[in-house]
């Protein structure tokens, strides 16, 4: 389930289950969104992106869903593995601007 | 191909000391960025450089200066460090504005 930790929301899932990580974005004018994965001690790593003219985009084991009506983005990870344990955060951008606005992140914990 | 390289990885300073964080990218990217990451918060943009020869303030520029030395290198300087600047600093680059950013592994800075 999902719980609020001291600093970050945490999602704990069993290995092999599917994970869904959610993000509420702030600007209705944002037209480009990225999901990043950040492992402990490392910099953020690009996972998948989506533009506002799409509702869904699939990658390898990951799917991003965009609901512009409620300004909501989700990242689905299929068959979650221990190597998926990390902090995931979304970033939004408008009109190819320099500034991406990053969410605070969700910590994904994969249980054996 | 190293991507984005940051030095140093760790640093401890006393209040009032100065230091420069170095960043270099080998992807021939035009745009470079400096962020800070604090517990429970998303990445916040300090300064960015849209292209060689230009720099602009981001969300939290106070207490920092930057130099885009050439296309590869973008440095961040703290002139008089304060405890509030204790954070993890990330440098990033992208081919152009509004495109996915590639991050270094960060500099962990503590100011006593």
Sequence-distant (6+) residues with CB within 8 A of A90 are A23, A25, A33, A34, A35, A36, A73, A75, A102, A103
Q: Which pLDDT score, from 0 to 100, does residue A99 have?
A: 83
Phi/psi of residue B107, nearest 5 degrees: -120, 120
Look at the block and give the residue holding tokens 């606005």. A101
The nearest alpha carbon in chain A to B59 belongs to A99
CA distances from A19 to A30, A85, A98, B4 (A): 25, 11, 31, 30
Answer whether residue A6 shows pLDDT above 50. no
- The answer to whether residue B7 scores a pLDDT higher than 80 is yes
Nearest Cα to Cα of residue B18 among B96, B84, B88, B77:
B77
Q: Which residues pair with B32 in a beta bridge?
A: B49, B93
Q: Which residue has the tokens 């495109």?
A: B99
Q: Do B98 and A95 touch (CB under 8 A)?
A: yes
How confident is the model at residue B36, as a pLDDT? 97
Contacts for A2-7: CB closer than 8 Å, 24+ residues apart: A5/A107, A6/B40, A7/B39, A7/B40
pLDDT confidence band for A1 (50 / 70 / 90): very low
Structure tokens at B28: 């021939």
- Where would I find the H helices in chain B? none
Per-residue pLDDT averaged across A37-55, rounded? Answer: 95
Selected residues 13-72 of chain B with any CB under 8 Å from a CB in chain A = 31, 33, 39-45, 48, 50, 56, 58-59
Which of A44, A95, A105 is closest, CB to CB, to B103?
A44
pLDDT at B40 over 60: yes
Which residues share a beta bridge with A49?
A34
Contact residues, chain B, for A7 at CB < 8 Å: 39-40
Distance from CA of B101 to the nearest CA of A (A): 8
What is the average pLDDT score of chain B?
Answer: 95
* Torsion from C-alpha of A83, A84, A88, A91, nearest 10 degrees: 100
pLDDT band at B1 (very low <50, low <70, confident <90, very high): low
């Amino acid at each position: 389930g999902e719980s609020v930790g001291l600093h970050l929301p945490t999602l704990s899932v069993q290995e092999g289950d599917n994970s869904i990580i959610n993000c509420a974005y702030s600007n209705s004018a944002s037209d480009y969104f990225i999901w990043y994965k950040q492992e402990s001690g490392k910099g953020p790593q690009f996972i998948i992106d989506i533009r506002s003219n799409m509702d869904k985009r699939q990658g390898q084991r990951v799917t991003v869903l965009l609901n512009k009506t409620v300004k909501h983005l989700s990242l689905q990870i299929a068959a979650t593995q221990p190597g998926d344990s990390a902090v995931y955060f979304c970033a939004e951008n408008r009109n190819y601007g320099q500034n991406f606005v990053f969410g605070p992140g969700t910590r994904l914990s994969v249980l054996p | 191909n190293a991507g984005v390289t940051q030095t140093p990885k760790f640093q401890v300073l006393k209040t009032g000391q100065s230091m420069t964080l170095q960043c270099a990218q080998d992807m021939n990217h035009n745009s470079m960025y400096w962020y800070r990451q604090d517990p429970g918060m998303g990445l916040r943009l300090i300064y960015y450089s849209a292209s060689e020869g230009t720099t602009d303030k981001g969300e939290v520029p106070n207490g920092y200066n930057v130099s885009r030395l050439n296309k590869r290198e973008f440095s961040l300087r703290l002139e008089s460090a304060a405890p509030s600047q204790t954070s993890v600093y990330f440098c990033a680059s992208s081919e152009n504005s509004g495109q996915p950013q590639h991050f270094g592994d960060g500099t962990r800075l503590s100011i006593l």
